Amino acid sequence: MYPLLALASDQQEHSMEEAFELLAQRFALTPEERAELLPSGGQSRYENRVGWARTYLTKAGLLESSGRGRFRITPEGLRVLQTGITDIDNHYLRRFPGFVEFRKRTRSSDDSDDNDRGMGSSTTPDEQLEQLYLELQKQLAHELLDRVKRSPPAFFERLVIQLLVAMGYGGSVSDAGKAVGRSGDDGIDGIIKQDRLGLDNIYIQAKRWNNTVSSEVVRTFAGSLALKKASRGVIITTSEFSDSAIETAEKLGNIVLIDGETLARYMIEYNVGVTVAARYEVKRVDRDFFEEI
């Protein structure tokens, strides 16, 4: 927040685009750091933080809006800079009544004042919401994987087919894939069309295991693919793959490995085995609407 306030010390009008560029130079951010998105993928983490810095400084009365996406320093903001301070956080802003009132309206009931010195001062409300969402997703993934591990092997094979269909392979479950899972199937648990026309097939091995999948399993599956004259295959497990198994698959180049954590994440993303419990819309004031008026 201090560099943003200092940027406006010339008492001229500045744009948010200008702030994004100058602060990125100030912090020597790489293109990769600037491009990093919030978990939702909806906004750059960096630009989100700059935006909230402007909001906090405005609520404290140190900056003011001067037009669409534009701001300038206030007399109070100039006074703060003249004190010689070089660091501004939420705890410092608590000396300004406007910011205190803003925090009272927006903080949850279990927030403590100390949060302004810790987590609350280093993450924006958007990031805190995203972190809570990710924690809920983690808990859901853990529960999903536990249920899958306790399911019968035949159910797991059908689940794998349904998931791949949901991901866009083949078409419908009825014509896109079939679960094999019989003795003498040469290590192939399922077959799914790569596309709706069925021009190529993907062979599947589904392992409802707790133990780590070794490189020997990957090599054996590669041999099964060769017997079927198949060009590509997928091994899906409820456990994890050893480093050597991952290395073997990378060398072969035609086998994709999906471990339990990835499996659960895909199930959530493609709505397989999950249902929506609630939906929340997060809205914010349209500043442009009011500035145009």
CA 168 – CA 223 distance, rounded (Å): 27
**Neighbouring C-beta atoms of residue 17, cutoff 10 Å:** 11
Phi, psi dihedrals of residue 106, rounded to the nearest 5°? -110, -15
Instruction: Indicate if the alpha-carbon torsion angle 172, 150, 246, 268 is positive or negative.
Output: positive
Please state the domain extents for the chain.
2-123, 146-269
The β-bridge partners of 203 are 191, 233
pTM: 0.61
Residue 167 is predicted with a pLDDT of 87
Contact partners, residue 65, CB within 8 Å, separation at least 6: 58, 71, 287, 291
Residue 114 is predicted with a pLDDT of 47
DSSP assignment of 237-283, as one string? ESS-B-HHHHHHHHHH-SEEEE-HHHHHHHHHHTTSS----------
Which DSSP state fits 37? B
Of 125, 89, 104, 106, nearest to 5 (Cα)?
89
CATH of span 146-269: 3.40.1350.10
DSSP assignment of 81-149, as one string? HHTT-----HHHHTTSHHHHHHHHHHS-TT--GGGGTTHHHHS-HHHHHHHHHHHHHHHHHHHHHHHHH
Residue 292 is predicted with a pLDDT of 62
Single-letter residue type at 221: F
Q: Do 257 and 246 contact (CB within 8 A), yes or no?
A: yes
Residue 128 is predicted with a pLDDT of 83
Q: How far apart are the first and last CA of the chain?
A: 28
Residue 228 is predicted with a pLDDT of 83
Q: What is the C-alpha R_g of the chain? A: 27
Architecture of the 2-123 domain: Orthogonal Bundle (1.10)
Structure tokens given for 79: 């006074």
Residue 155 is predicted with a pLDDT of 87
Residue 66 burial by Cβ neighbours in a 10 Å radius (0-12, 13-18, 19+): middle
| pLDDT by 10-residue block (mean), the chain, 293 residues | 96 94 95 86 86 93 88 96 93 94 68 46 76 85 89 85 83 56 58 70 87 94 88 92 96 94 94 85 72 61
